[in-house]
Amino acid sequence: MSSHTSSSTTSNKKSFEDGTFENGTTIEEALNVSIQQLKDLNKHFPCRENSFTIKKMKKALKWLNYLTKDRIKRGVEGKRFA
């Protein structure tokens, strides 16, 4: 699984950690969940702003996945240098 950041949740407070993760949530996972929630919301309350936001979140996810593939290819994924 690709990761740039992981987070842990205690009640409503989130803390993020640098580097790779073993347990936690990646930015990519959070975006996927957010995209799905906004799609569901947009079914009931459609608007231009929701559609625009979904499109931009998908684009952000695409760039994060590109970055991860590039870092894996260069052998630096999970390391603290580029």
User: Is 82 inside any structural domain?
Assistant: no
Average pLDDT over residues 61-73: 96
Q: Is 14 helix (H, G, I), strand (E, B) or coil?
A: strand
Which amino acid is located at 44 in the chain? H
- Please give the residue range of the domain that contains residue 34: 5-74
* pLDDT at 81 (0 to 100): 81
User: Is 79 inside any structural domain?
Assistant: no
Tens-place pLDDT, residues 18-35? 655 556 788 999 999 999
CB 61 within 8 A of CB 28: yes
User: Is 19 inside any structural domain?
Assistant: yes
Please tell me the total count of domains within the chain. 1
Average pLDDT over residues 63-72: 96
Two tokens at 54?
């979904």
Q: pTM of this prediction?
A: 0.69
Q: Is 9 helix (H, G, I), strand (E, B) or coil?
A: strand
